[in-house]
Amino acid sequence: MILASISSFSSISTYPIPQQSKKPNPYQSHQKVFSKSNQVIDFTSSKTLEIRKTCECFDLYNELVPYDKAWSWQKNIVKEKKALIESNEECPDSLIILQHSPVYTMGTASSEEHLNFDIKDPPFQVFRTERGGEVTYHGPGQLVMYPIINLRNHKMDLHWYLRALEEVVIRVLSSTFSIKASRLEGLTGVWIGDQKLAAMGIRVSQWITYHGLALNVTTDLTPFRWIVPCGIQNRQVGSIKELLRQSRPSNGCRKSDLHHPDDFQLIDITHNSLIKEFSEVFQLEVQRKTNLLFEPSEKNSFATELFS
């Protein structure tokens, strides 16, 4: 199942990681674990001596950004990139990373049958979007990455792109938390057993990507009960926090708590690792932007709020 939506086809230097928390990361590991893929894709064969292209990163990972605002940012950035391409100018890649205020989003073909609440009286705002995929939930404790990249500079293949996004998360879980994640045949996302930790839904217009992936780190998973996440029955949603909690010794020894970060540290650690692995998988030099994203100059015509 390809969680992608396509329109108008005319047709990683290491990220400078922000200072870590004072407590050392007890999960750091140099071992890489690669899961079986829907198709064989080698993400380790890139030319390490080649000069990497830059990727501007709007790093708002500690911010709760309303969904419609982040959506407008993406649309405006895509519009700018199309203009650069049309004028034969350099079109650098971009990345937005943030958290959202609680919200449900639906894809182009999402069914309201996957909502376990009255659409006229939802627990949170509901937006129908132009991305691929079914309904999902975004909220605090979930890190969302919106890569807005020109696939002409990478590989003009949506299967490859989705597998690359999955690879970023799989590497984060393995190298940072020693968690062995995998893909499931026929499904998009990153899984631990029957628990989905990362969901993906994208849109591609003239080979420029937007929307992206959402990784549950310390997320309250309760709002997922009010939907059928990604339209997949009989599967669960998990988080890094819950997996680490389940791995704790059950001997009642409080000393073990010293080896587990609190929620803020866990977000910091995961954020740093996501940026690092993104830069490696896509062979980009990620450069953080200190200035705030621009405010949209006009209403985002693609964003349709159903009810609030």
Q: How far is CA 178 from CA 106, 172, 204, 244, 303, in A?
A: 32, 9, 33, 10, 38
In degrees and rounded to multiples of 5, residue 230 shows phi and psi of 60, 15
In degrees and rounded to multiples of 5, residue 120 shows phi and psi of -80, -10
Enter the DSSP assignment of 22: S
Helices (H) and strands (E) in the chain, counts: 4, 13
Cα gap 103→122, rounded to integer Å = 10
Among candidates 239, 249, 187, 246, which has minimal Cα distance to 218?
239
* 253 counts as catalytic: no
Catalytic residue among 55, 57, 91, 230: 230
- Quick check: 160 and 41 in contact, CB under 8 A? yes
* Kind and range of the H or E run holding 284: strand 284-289
In degrees and rounded to multiples of 5, residue 14 shows phi and psi of -75, 140
* Kind and range of the H or E run holding 266: helix 263-281
Cα gap 44→42, rounded to integer Å = 6
Residues serving a catalytic function are 230
